[in-house]
Structure 1
Amino acid sequence: MSPRTARTGTDLRHREHTMYEYDFHRARSAELIRRAEDERLAREAARGGRAARRALRRAAAARSGSEHHSRGSRRRWSTHTA
């Protein structure tokens, strides 16, 4: 076997290995992009649902004429005992 043939065989195996890594990289990249898009869509859906519920609450409050109250407690709990 001549040195050129031996080198070509090694180069071919290296090229095949490199192509395998490149294909794996592309597949992994595509999967990560799909996951990111799915998560973005889920966040948008959740945000839309919260906005719809908030709008319904505000509409109901406007119909009933009630004032807006914060969700927080008015009483501030202290860690000190009497």
Structure 2
Amino acid sequence: MNTYIKATQGTKDHCFYAFVEFKDSMLVLSSFQGLNRSVIKKINLADISGLTKDNYWGGQRISFYDQGTLYQFFECGPAVVDYLQENLFV
């Protein structure tokens, strides 16, 4: 699934469009660079805290903290939030 993500650490924001998938108890965020896919971040599901789901400007948003960084996943296309919700809210 592809979606927009905002990562906030302290006062710095990093916004990007990424492919999101779950592998071996990890949330893997990757981005395509031409034909290659580079991994941006691997997040251990056990380290996630403050998991929330809300609405942001008419779309759904899922947010959580990992090692002091706030990750926000924005609804972008069908089933993205549902996919995240099914794998994170267990």
> What's the TM-score bracket when you normalise by the shorter of the two chains?
under 0.3
Higher relative contact order, structure no. (Cα contacts within 8 Å, ≥ 6 residues apart)? 2
Question: Which one has the largest radius of gyration?
Answer: 1
TM-score (norm 2): 0.15
Higher strand share: 2
The structure where helix makes up a greater share of residues is: 1
